[in-house]
Amino acid sequence: MNRLESRETRILLARLAPPATSWPTRHGRRALLAAAAGLLVPWAVHAQPATGYPARPIRLIVPFEPGGSTDITARMVANEVGKRLNQAIVVENMGGSGGGRGTDVVAKAKPDGYTLLWANVAPIAINAHLYKKLPYDPAKDFAPITLATVFPNVLVVKPALKNDTPQTFLMKAKTEYKDLSFASAGNGSTTHLAGEWLKLLTGANWLHVPYKGGGPALLAVASGQVDMYFSAIPSAMPFIKAGQVRAMATTGKTRDASLPDVPTVAELGLRDYEVVNWNGLLAPANTPPAILQTLNNATVAALSSTQLKAQLYAQGAVASPMTATAFSAFIAAESVKWARVVKVSNAHVD
């Protein structure tokens, strides 16, 4: 499950990490994953759909401000799931604390299936490793329903670097490109950690330049103020087509259909590199299994529809439904991965 296990990465971690005794052994890593997954499994058991649920509208908390891709895709999914449940799902935006404010509200909500979280990688799998203390426990305070969407990004570089191929760009990372700068949507964001991870794997000495959001970060690269940025693909497409930035690589497991000629970072030799933003559905811990199963059935059916898949893809999202048990394991693996990236990169939130 852990995707940081390539030979080159193990060498890097050995060089940068504290003494080897503080790192888990192979068996220890397996135990860690199993333990982390096990915290969520009790609510991921199979159950018969709940009778009489839902009897009133469901509140879906999106822990970010309105208007972004996370909010837009949440509303798309909520609309389709609501149709299958014959009940309205009301989206409520509750931004703040890197997604932590809204996430905490759901953690403390009544476990009756009427308050759900549009879970995001940052507050669920990353923030616990960036912040000294969170008001909620990502592993204990939630019951998984399903993964919903994943968002691969694209590494774009400023026009002055447009003559490089993706292969030569990474080859130069340790030499003439070792002192480049990379923008991010903010400290601790996936765009920040994506850059830190690539920096570590290439041996570069890139400078991180945080911005207040993805829009300003992308504009900084297009104007030449910063050298590169891991952008959401739909946001970057107009700039790529206009020649204002150059697409070097995408960050998912496979090439993105909208950029079929652009390789993945893994294709360029960093086999374990995969960075995606993701969203899924979580309920408060101790929500009855029958309610969780009802929600999983409806959401998986919605995300499997051709219409919703196309709508999500237009926003740069790939519909990725799964069982509650699989989502539990996915969250555990993501948490372990990002814990190690944060540690070896010394990433922090000011």
What CATH superfamily classification does 40-151+277-345 receive? Bordetella uptake gene, domain 1 (3.40.190.150)
Give yes or no for residue 91 having a pLDDT over 90: yes
Residues of the chain with CATH 3.40.190.150: 40-151+277-345
* Per-residue CA distances from 143 to 86, 121, 317 (Å): 23, 15, 23
Amino acid at 213: G
> Considering only CA atoms, which of 141, 116, 169 is closest in space to residue 291?
116
In which band, very low, low, confident or very high, does the pLDDT at 60 lie, cut at 50, 70 and 90? very high
Tokens of 305: 């529809």
Q: For residue 183, what pLDDT is reported?
A: 96
pLDDT for 217-236, tens place per residue? 999 999 999 999 999 898 89
Q: Look at residue 47 in the predicted model and tell me its pLDDT.
A: 56
Q: Annotate 296-312 with DSSP letters as a single string.
A: HHHHHHHHTSHHHHHHH
Q: Which has the closest alpha carbon to 161: 207, 94, 227?
A: 227
pLDDT band at 164 (very low <50, low <70, confident <90, very high): confident
Q: Which residues on adjacent β-strands are paired with residue 152?
A: 276
User: What is the number of residues in the chain?
Assistant: 350
Neighbouring-strand partners of residue 120:
279
Here the tokens at position 19 are 């003494």
Residue 133: both structure tokens together: 């203390």
Question: Can you count the helices (H) and strands (E) in the chain?
Answer: 13, 10
Q: Percent of the chain having pLDDT more than 70?
A: 86
DSSP 119: E
Nearest residue to 99 (alpha-carbon basis) of 146, 131, 145, 56: 131
The pLDDT score that the predictor gives to residue 26 is: 40
pLDDT of residue 67: 85
CB atoms closer than 10 angstroms to residue 131: 16
Contact 118, 278 (CB under 8 A): no
For residues 227 and 199, give the distance between their C-alpha atoms in angstroms, rounded to a whole number.
13
Kind of pairing between the strands at 115-120 and 58-62: parallel
Q: What percent of the chain has pLDDT over 90?
A: 63
Q: Contact, 317 vs 328, CB < 8 A?
A: no
Tokens encoding 171:
């080859």
Closest to 73 in 3D by CA, of 123, 148, 146: 148
The highest-level CATH class for domain 153-268 is alpha beta
Convert the pLDDT of each residue in 175-212 to its tens digit.
888 899 999 988 888 899 999 999 988 889 999 999 98
| Residue range(s) occupied by CATH 3.40.190.10 in the chain | 153-268
